[in-house]
Protein backbone atom coordinates (compact mmCIF):
# COMPACT_ATOMS: atom_id res chain seq x y z
CA UNK A 1 0.00 0.00 0.00
CA UNK A 2 1.27 3.46 -0.85
CA UNK A 3 2.41 5.49 2.18
CA UNK A 4 1.47 8.77 0.50
CA UNK A 5 0.32 11.21 3.19
CA UNK A 6 -2.48 12.43 0.94
CA UNK A 7 -4.20 9.07 1.37
CA UNK A 8 -4.61 6.14 -1.01
CA UNK A 9 -5.72 6.70 -4.56
CA UNK A 10 -9.09 5.10 -3.91
CA UNK A 11 -10.06 8.04 -1.60
CA UNK A 12 -11.24 9.97 -4.65
CA UNK A 13 -8.24 12.02 -5.69
CA UNK A 14 -6.54 11.42 -9.03
CA UNK A 15 -3.72 8.88 -8.72
CA UNK A 16 -0.26 10.34 -9.35
CA UNK A 17 1.77 8.32 -11.85
CA UNK A 18 5.49 9.05 -12.09
CA UNK A 19 6.89 8.99 -15.64
CA UNK A 20 10.65 8.64 -15.91
CA UNK A 21 11.97 11.45 -18.10
CA UNK A 22 14.37 11.18 -21.00
CA UNK A 23 17.05 13.76 -21.78
CA UNK A 24 17.51 15.09 -25.31
CA UNK A 25 19.06 18.07 -27.11
CA UNK A 26 16.61 20.46 -28.76
CA UNK A 27 16.74 23.79 -30.54
CA UNK A 28 14.20 26.27 -29.19
CA UNK A 29 13.93 29.86 -30.43
CA UNK A 30 17.39 29.57 -31.91
CA UNK A 31 19.03 28.26 -28.73
CA UNK A 32 20.53 24.79 -28.34
CA UNK A 33 19.18 23.28 -25.12
CA UNK A 34 19.14 19.98 -23.27
CA UNK A 35 15.71 19.15 -21.90
CA UNK A 36 13.99 16.47 -19.84
CA UNK A 37 10.93 15.19 -21.66
CA UNK A 38 8.35 12.44 -22.01
CA UNK A 39 6.34 11.14 -24.94
CA UNK A 40 3.17 13.21 -25.04
CA UNK A 41 0.91 10.21 -25.59
CA UNK A 42 2.05 8.62 -22.31
CA UNK A 43 0.94 11.76 -20.48
CA UNK A 44 -2.28 12.08 -22.46
CA UNK A 45 -3.28 8.42 -22.06
CA UNK A 46 -2.66 8.51 -18.30
CA UNK A 47 -4.60 11.75 -17.96
CA UNK A 48 -7.49 10.36 -20.00
CA UNK A 49 -7.50 7.34 -17.66
CA UNK A 50 -8.03 9.64 -14.66
CA UNK A 51 -4.44 9.99 -13.44
CA UNK A 52 -2.08 12.92 -12.96
CA UNK A 53 1.27 12.18 -14.68
CA UNK A 54 4.36 13.54 -12.94
CA UNK A 55 7.60 13.85 -14.91
CA UNK A 56 10.63 12.48 -13.02
CA UNK A 57 13.99 13.79 -14.30
CA UNK A 58 16.70 11.19 -13.72
CA UNK A 59 18.73 13.19 -11.23
CA UNK A 60 20.12 12.07 -7.85
CA UNK A 61 17.39 11.85 -5.24
CA UNK A 62 14.59 11.10 -7.71
CA UNK A 63 13.93 7.84 -5.86
CA UNK A 64 12.82 9.84 -2.81
CA UNK A 65 9.66 10.83 -4.72
CA UNK A 66 8.48 7.20 -4.73
CA UNK A 67 6.54 7.64 -1.50
CA UNK A 68 4.42 10.34 -3.14
CA UNK A 69 3.46 8.23 -6.16
CA UNK A 70 0.61 5.80 -6.76
CA UNK A 71 2.27 4.12 -9.78
CA UNK A 72 5.23 4.40 -12.14
CA UNK A 73 5.64 4.30 -15.92
CA UNK A 74 9.16 3.59 -17.21
CA UNK A 75 9.19 4.35 -20.95
CA UNK A 76 11.48 3.51 -23.84
CA UNK A 77 14.78 5.25 -24.35
CA UNK A 78 18.49 4.72 -24.97
CA UNK A 79 20.44 1.51 -24.43
CA UNK A 80 21.45 0.52 -20.90
CA UNK A 81 25.09 0.53 -19.85
CA UNK A 82 26.18 -3.11 -20.44
CA UNK A 83 28.42 -2.87 -17.35
CA UNK A 84 25.20 -3.10 -15.31
CA UNK A 85 24.91 -6.75 -16.31
CA UNK A 86 28.61 -7.51 -16.58
CA UNK A 87 29.04 -7.34 -20.35
CA UNK A 88 31.36 -5.39 -22.65
CA UNK A 89 29.69 -2.97 -25.02
CA UNK A 90 28.58 -4.27 -28.42
CA UNK A 91 29.47 -1.97 -31.36
CA UNK A 92 25.74 -1.30 -31.83
CA UNK A 93 25.13 -0.27 -28.21
CA UNK A 94 24.67 3.50 -28.21
CA UNK A 95 23.66 6.62 -26.28
CA UNK A 96 24.56 5.08 -22.94
CA UNK A 97 24.17 7.30 -19.84
CA UNK A 98 25.44 5.38 -16.77
CA UNK A 99 24.49 8.15 -14.32
CA UNK A 100 20.88 8.22 -15.53
CA UNK A 101 20.77 4.40 -15.50
CA UNK A 102 21.76 4.34 -11.81
CA UNK A 103 19.08 6.85 -10.86
CA UNK A 104 16.39 5.05 -12.83
CA UNK A 105 17.34 1.73 -11.25
CA UNK A 106 17.05 3.35 -7.82
CA UNK A 107 13.61 4.77 -8.64
CA UNK A 108 12.48 1.40 -9.98
CA UNK A 109 13.76 -0.48 -6.93
CA UNK A 110 12.09 1.92 -4.48
CA UNK A 111 8.73 1.72 -6.27
CA UNK A 112 8.82 -2.08 -6.47
CA UNK A 113 9.77 -2.28 -2.79
CA UNK A 114 6.68 -0.19 -2.02
CA UNK A 115 4.65 -2.62 -4.16
CA UNK A 116 3.30 0.17 -6.32
CA UNK A 117 1.96 -0.62 -9.80
CA UNK A 118 4.54 -0.38 -12.58
CA UNK A 119 4.34 -0.40 -16.38
CA UNK A 120 7.77 -0.78 -18.01
CA UNK A 121 7.98 -0.21 -21.76
CA UNK A 122 10.81 -1.22 -24.13
CA UNK A 123 13.96 0.07 -22.34
CA UNK A 124 11.85 0.00 -19.18
CA UNK A 125 11.32 -3.76 -19.52
CA UNK A 126 15.03 -4.26 -20.13
CA UNK A 127 15.78 -2.20 -17.01
CA UNK A 128 13.34 -4.35 -15.03
CA UNK A 129 15.17 -7.46 -16.17
CA UNK A 130 18.61 -6.06 -15.31
CA UNK A 131 17.35 -4.89 -11.90
CA UNK A 132 16.50 -8.53 -11.16
CA UNK A 133 19.92 -9.79 -12.23
CA UNK A 134 19.07 -10.61 -15.84
CA UNK A 135 21.09 -9.87 -18.98
CA UNK A 136 20.34 -8.49 -22.43
CA UNK A 137 21.02 -9.35 -26.05
CA UNK A 138 22.74 -6.14 -27.10
CA UNK A 139 21.93 -6.53 -30.79
CA UNK A 140 18.93 -8.74 -31.40
CA UNK A 141 19.56 -9.23 -35.13
CA UNK A 142 22.70 -11.19 -34.21
CA UNK A 143 20.42 -13.71 -32.48
CA UNK A 144 17.32 -13.74 -34.68
CA UNK A 145 19.00 -13.16 -38.06
CA UNK A 146 16.55 -10.40 -39.02
CA UNK A 147 15.69 -6.75 -38.28
CA UNK A 148 11.97 -7.29 -37.92
CA UNK A 149 11.94 -5.90 -34.39
CA UNK A 150 13.51 -2.63 -35.59
CA UNK A 151 12.73 -2.14 -39.26
CA UNK A 152 15.22 0.01 -41.13
CA UNK A 153 13.97 2.94 -43.12
CA UNK A 154 14.29 6.65 -43.71
CA UNK A 155 11.84 7.36 -40.88
CA UNK A 156 10.91 5.75 -37.57
CA UNK A 157 8.97 2.58 -38.38
CA UNK A 158 7.27 0.13 -36.04
CA UNK A 159 7.68 -3.59 -36.61
CA UNK A 160 4.54 -5.72 -36.48
CA UNK A 161 5.21 -9.13 -34.95
CA UNK A 162 2.74 -11.87 -33.91
CA UNK A 163 2.60 -12.14 -30.13
CA UNK A 164 2.04 -15.27 -28.04
CA UNK A 165 0.83 -14.56 -24.51
CA UNK A 166 0.86 -16.80 -21.48
CA UNK A 167 -2.76 -17.71 -20.60
CA UNK A 168 -3.81 -16.30 -17.26
CA UNK A 169 -1.03 -13.70 -17.19
CA UNK A 170 -1.68 -10.09 -16.35
CA UNK A 171 -0.80 -8.88 -19.85
CA UNK A 172 -3.03 -11.50 -21.50
CA UNK A 173 -5.91 -10.26 -19.37
CA UNK A 174 -5.25 -6.65 -20.35
CA UNK A 175 -4.99 -7.26 -24.09
CA UNK A 176 -7.73 -9.92 -24.15
CA UNK A 177 -7.47 -10.92 -27.81
CA UNK A 178 -6.77 -14.15 -29.61
CA UNK A 179 -4.06 -13.00 -32.03
CA UNK A 180 -2.33 -9.88 -30.71
CA UNK A 181 0.44 -8.13 -32.64
CA UNK A 182 3.32 -6.07 -31.32
CA UNK A 183 4.23 -2.61 -32.56
CA UNK A 184 7.94 -2.64 -31.79
CA UNK A 185 11.15 -0.77 -32.48
CA UNK A 186 14.03 -2.25 -30.50
CA UNK A 187 17.41 -3.79 -31.21
CA UNK A 188 17.98 -5.17 -27.69
CA UNK A 189 15.98 -7.72 -25.71
CA UNK A 190 16.00 -10.04 -22.72
CA UNK A 191 18.71 -12.72 -22.78
CA UNK A 192 18.86 -14.37 -19.34
CA UNK A 193 15.64 -13.73 -17.45
CA UNK A 194 16.09 -12.07 -14.06
CA UNK A 195 15.30 -13.84 -10.81
CA UNK A 196 11.71 -13.42 -9.69
CA UNK A 197 10.46 -12.53 -13.16
CA UNK A 198 8.06 -14.59 -15.27
CA UNK A 199 8.13 -14.35 -19.07
CA UNK A 200 4.52 -13.93 -20.20
CA UNK A 201 4.82 -12.95 -23.87
CA UNK A 202 6.98 -14.00 -26.83
CA UNK A 203 7.41 -13.10 -30.49
CA UNK A 204 7.29 -15.89 -33.05
CA UNK A 205 11.11 -16.01 -33.09
CA UNK A 206 11.27 -16.63 -29.33
CA UNK A 207 12.14 -13.07 -28.31
CA UNK A 208 10.70 -12.30 -24.86
CA UNK A 209 8.10 -9.58 -25.36
CA UNK A 210 6.50 -9.38 -21.91
CA UNK A 211 7.58 -10.06 -18.34
CA UNK A 212 5.90 -9.73 -14.96
CA UNK A 213 7.25 -9.66 -11.42
CA UNK A 214 6.08 -12.85 -9.72
CA UNK A 215 4.05 -12.17 -6.61
CA UNK A 216 3.70 -8.43 -7.28
CA UNK A 217 0.18 -6.93 -7.59
CA UNK A 218 0.95 -5.17 -10.90
CA UNK A 219 4.48 -4.98 -12.31
CA UNK A 220 4.37 -5.53 -16.07
CA UNK A 221 7.07 -5.05 -18.67
CA UNK A 222 6.42 -5.05 -22.42
CA UNK A 223 9.06 -4.85 -25.13
CA UNK A 224 6.83 -3.21 -27.72
CA UNK A 225 6.22 0.53 -28.09
CA UNK A 226 3.08 0.98 -26.01
CA UNK A 227 2.28 4.67 -26.31
CA UNK A 228 3.29 5.01 -29.95
CA UNK A 229 -0.03 3.69 -31.24
CA UNK A 230 -3.63 4.48 -30.37
CA UNK A 231 -3.81 1.44 -28.07
CA UNK A 232 -4.46 2.73 -24.54
CA UNK A 233 -5.16 -0.61 -22.82
CA UNK A 234 -1.92 -0.89 -20.87
CA UNK A 235 -2.08 2.71 -19.68
CA UNK A 236 -5.67 2.18 -18.55
CA UNK A 237 -4.66 -1.00 -16.73
CA UNK A 238 -1.89 0.88 -14.92
CA UNK A 239 -4.37 3.59 -13.96
CA UNK A 240 -6.85 0.99 -12.68
CA UNK A 241 -4.09 -0.65 -10.62
CA UNK A 242 -3.09 2.72 -9.19
CA UNK A 243 -6.67 3.34 -8.08
CA UNK A 244 -7.15 -0.16 -6.68
CA UNK A 245 -3.85 -0.33 -4.87
CA UNK A 246 -3.68 -4.12 -5.27
CA UNK A 247 -4.89 -7.04 -7.35
CA UNK A 248 -4.22 -10.70 -8.12
CA UNK A 249 -0.50 -11.34 -8.59
CA UNK A 250 1.08 -13.11 -11.53
CA UNK A 251 1.73 -16.77 -10.64
CA UNK A 252 5.23 -17.90 -9.74
CA UNK A 253 7.37 -19.47 -12.49
Per-residue pLDDT at 211 exceeds 80 = yes
Per-residue pLDDT at 249 exceeds 90 = no
* Residue 4 domain-assigned (yes or no): no
Per the structure, the complete domain to which residue 225 belongs is given by 9-23+33-244
* Residue 249 domain-assigned (yes or no): no
User: What are the φ/ψ torsions at residue 193 (nearest 5 degrees)?
Assistant: -70, 135
* Average pLDDT for 196-208: 94
* Average pLDDT for 132-155: 79
d(CA 236, CA 224): 16
* Residue 253 domain-assigned (yes or no): no
* Residue 50 domain-assigned (yes or no): yes
Share of the chain above pLDDT 70, in %: 89
* Residue 252 domain-assigned (yes or no): no
Q: What is the pLDDT of residue 141?
A: 75
Q: What is the pLDDT of residue 246?
A: 41
Q: What is the pLDDT of residue 171?
A: 96
58-82 burial, b at 16+ Cβ within 10 Å, e below that, comes to beeebbebbeebbbbbbbbbbbbbb
* Residue 28 domain-assigned (yes or no): no
Per-residue pLDDT at 237 exceeds 80 = yes
Number of domains in the chain: 1
Q: What is the pLDDT of residue 155?
A: 66
Beta-carbon contacts of residue 184 (< 8 Å; ≥ 6 apart): 122, 149, 150, 158, 159, 160, 161, 209, 223, 224, 225
* Average pLDDT for 30-46: 91
- Whether the CA torsion 108, 104, 186, 135 is positive or negative: it is negative
Do residues 129 and 175 make contact, with C-beta atoms less than 8 angstroms apart?
no
pTM: 0.88
The pLDDT-based confidence of 157 (bands split at 50, 70, 90) is low
Q: Residue 71: give its domain's CATH number.
A: 3.40.50.880
* Residue 202 domain-assigned (yes or no): yes
Per-residue pLDDT at 28 exceeds 80 = yes
* Average pLDDT for 5-18: 70
Per-residue pLDDT at 73 exceeds 90 = yes
Mean pLDDT of the residues in the chain: 88
Amino acid sequence: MNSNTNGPARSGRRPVVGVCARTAPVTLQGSDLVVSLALGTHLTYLSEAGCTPLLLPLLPGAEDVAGRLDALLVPGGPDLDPALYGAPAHPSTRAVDPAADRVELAVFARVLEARLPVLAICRGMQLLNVLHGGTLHQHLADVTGHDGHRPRGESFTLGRRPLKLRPGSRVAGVLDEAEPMTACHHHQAVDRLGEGLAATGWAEDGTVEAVEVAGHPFAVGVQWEAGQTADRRLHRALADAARAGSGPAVPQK
